[in-house]
Structure 1
């Protein structure tokens, strides 16, 4: 995504770029396997999401630095119900995560990032750290099949360790019916994230089944992607 011609939008974009670069530097973030990212053409990146989605700017920065391409991220639909957020997110490459928007983005030749776990992974509790909470979703598998584009799996390690998640119920906030989530705490129990090292690994592309594939084939492909991401997580942990 190029910086927008609107002066305010351009300034905000550059400010965000600087923040992403500083985040990557602060966390000594690395991107391994960048050779699997094509320099052009549509591709769907699928992987695990970190605590509160904090790692995303650093990850996108590393992708741009490695490929010269600005990724588009399929964002939680609920964000686009918030007036200011729905204005700013597209400035930063955020796309409302509908199938139609995703297909359009891929048809336009973009590099699209998808987190199948969505909010379930960003608002995870400590016992779910580095667990793929994909809840049996088939959306990304069906999207790749319909678009006829490969899925490039990736994994991020360190992304669930950037904040502390205390057990004190007084530090929990209700964000979904019946669910309470811990307020993230950083250095000195403040908002500054812990200086943990982040490692991202990109795997080899996986070809999806054909557009008319049966649901059983889509499930098999989904499980293949998930198992690949988990293997990449183990590699990232020891890299």
Structure 2
């Protein structure tokens, strides 16, 4: 990487760190259950996504503040079709969510964050608040089995209250790509800002990974067990 681009990348990262810290402060964000995260070594965090994925910087900021580790996020693969996102996201700790990228990160000892609901949870409508969209999502279960790493479930509380859906929400969408799941809803905040709701990120007890040769039924059972843990953590939220 040439020097000007490297300088730009560092500047963007510093700006993003400052924005994440301000977001955490604005939302009085807190991390519960940080003792479930190892101080070193690979681990896969799996949980629910908020509308627009807005909560992610604050979540990553709290993890870094608690552990000293920078998380690596597995981003929805379709976002990498958008030129600006494709360029900037890796600068901020996001990689295209392929199994190869995830395995490489875990084998290097990274703390990896996965949102199995992907764009379906990020671009949800009002009826999708705090609902997991993990249908047929076995990728993280296969990844945990192949890498042999524990899965720490987490729940984002308040993440679907930072914005509100206006009347006629089904019509008020912007398409990022031709795929219907990348229809970004237009939502409302408090003027130019999101609503100042409190964000709480609750981490649960780690799940031991399935064996490397786990059957499809075993992987489905593992996925459902992790989803059940996330749902239990979500019951702490009065609106979940």
Same fold per superposition (TM over 0.5): yes
Residues 123-142 of structure 1: matches in 2 within 5 Å? 123-142=123-142
What secondary structure, in the 3-state scheme, does the structure 2 residue paired with 1:156 have? strand
Look up the match of 1:91.
91
1:204 matched to 2:205? The reply is yes
Equivalents in 2 of 1:116, 1:180: separation in Å?
A: 18
Q: Compare 173-182 and 73-82 and name the one that shifted more.
A: 173-182
Equivalents in 1 of 2:184, 2:87: separation in Å?
A: 26
Shift of 1:184: 1.2
Taking only aligned residues, the RMSD between alpha carbons, in angstroms, comes to 1.7
1:107 matched to 2:107? The reply is yes
Is the alpha carbon distance of 1:68 and 1:208 closer, same or farther for their aligned partners in structure 2, counting shifts above 3 Å? same
1:213 matched to 2:211? The reply is no
Number of matched pairs: 232
TM-score by length of 2: 0.92
What secondary structure, in the 3-state scheme, does the structure 2 residue paired with 1:196 have? coil
Equivalents in 2 of 1:62, 1:199: separation in Å?
A: 10
Look up the match of 1:22.
22
TM-score by length of 1: 0.92
Shift of 1:52: 0.5
**Structure 1: which 5+ runs fail to align?**
none
Shift of 1:179: 8.2
Look up the match of 1:122.
122
Residues 1-239 of structure 1: matches in 2 within 5 Å? 6-168=6-168, 169-174=170-175, 176-177=179-180, 182-188=185-191, 191-237=192-238
